[in-house]
Structure 1
Amino acid sequence: MKIYTESELKNKAEAYCVRTERCPEEVAQKLEQWGATEEENARILAMLQQDRFIDTCRYCKAFVRDKYRFARWGRNKIIQALRMKHLPSDDISAGLEEIDDEEYSRILREVLAQKRKSVTGKTEYERAMKLLRYAVTKGYTVDEIKRYVHQVSEDEFMD
């Protein structure tokens, strides 16, 4: 394994950050893979943040936009993923503000409509419960899902 100087590590980290938004944890892991010591890692991360190669708020906003639009994740799954990256709550909240409620609702309806085609069950209630479980695993809340599952009467669903 090649030994890099701190300057080379910083240059590699800058190039890594330029390609796409990165969070501090991702960059720290990469620096560790490249052989940076803890002290070098901390100094390089501080420089990258100072030079705005890394910005946790900007990262959260980009992450939220990508995950709800392209991966079709719900808020809960997005929040969980960002928390696992040890990002500040304020930045996570700012990122969640990127969600357009109309677009989010449309995506949820599309997710449910697509899944409805492949869901089987003996009763409408059973099919609705399978849809509900599926959407919960995608990170949507039960209240959000209930609004769009049309195959079950309101009375059955409320229990």
Structure 2
Amino acid sequence: MNIDTHKTYTVEEAKRALERYCAYQERCHKEVQDKLRGMRMIPDAIDAVIVHLLDHNFLNEERFAKAYVRGKFKFKHWGRNRLTLELKRRQISRFNIQIGLKELDALDYYGTFDALAARRCEAIKESNTYKKRKKLADYLLYRGWESPMVYDKIKELIP
């Protein structure tokens, strides 16, 4: 008995499926293209579905960039560098990345950074000052906070 385990989709079925996919949460073009490739759609069908999603406002890169920045900053406490890198990885245009980063309130940004650095500094159980500074720097830099901010904060927290 030979059963095909891969379902094939018509363009209309793919449109409906991707409408639900995009309505669930904001998506970028790359995620939608990957999803359609996973559904084994041909390039012409992929283009047709993406045009449909754009026309009906299911897909909007500016809206995605704003939502992504707000979400990752609020829940993961990522800094501008990490947010920019992750958006570039998703092939978001430089223009939309700049619009997305404008979602960050300056007071909120620095307040979150100060709280995150202080909390992490307390959590690092290291007696060697050099190693403690290195661990804190690595932690903050990995999360995408700007180098000058990180090193100034380390001097302040670990004299």
Same fold (TM > 0.5): yes
Tell me which residue corresponds to 1:34: 39
**Equivalent residues in 2 for 1:97-116 (5 A)?**
97-116=102-121
**Structure-1 separation of matches of 2:152 and 2:70:** 23
**Structure-1 separation of matches of 2:7 and 2:126:** 58
- Find out whether 1:46 has 2:51 as its counterpart: yes
- Find out whether 1:84 has 2:89 as its counterpart: yes
Tell me which residue corresponds to 1:18: 23
What runs of 5+ residues in structure 1 fail to find an aligned partner?
A: 154-159
**Structure-1 separation of matches of 2:158 and 2:123:** 17
What runs of 5+ residues in structure 2 fail to find an aligned partner?
A: 1-5
**Structure-1 separation of matches of 2:146 and 2:55:** 37
Find the residue that maps to 1:110 and give its secondary structure: helix
Q: 1:84 to 1:25 in 2, by over 3 A?
A: same
**Structure-1 separation of matches of 2:16 and 2:142:** 39
**Structure-2 separation of matches of 1:147 and 1:98:** 25
- Find out whether 1:71 has 2:89 as its counterpart: no
CA RMSD in angstroms comes to: 1.4
**1:31 counterpart letter in structure 2:** L
Find the residue that maps to 1:17 and give its secondary structure: helix
- Tell me, yes or no, if the aligned pair for 1:135 and 1:145 is still in contact at 8 Å: yes
Q: Deviations over 1:122-146 (max 9, x none)?
A: 4434322321121001111111223
**Structure-2 separation of matches of 1:19 and 1:95:** 20
Aligned residues: 153
Match of 1:151 among 151, 154, 157: 157
**2:158 counterpart letter in structure 1:** V
Q: Deviations over 1:31-66 (max 9, x none)?
A: 111221111001111121121110000000000000
**Structure-2 separation of matches of 1:152 and 1:110:** 15
Relative to the length of structure 1, the TM-score reads 0.89
- Tell me, yes or no, if the aligned pair for 1:125 and 1:152 is still in contact at 8 Å: no
Relative to the length of structure 2, the TM-score reads 0.89
Identity of matched residues, %: 27
Q: 1:113 to 1:152 in 2, by over 3 A?
A: closer
**1:94 counterpart letter in structure 2:** I
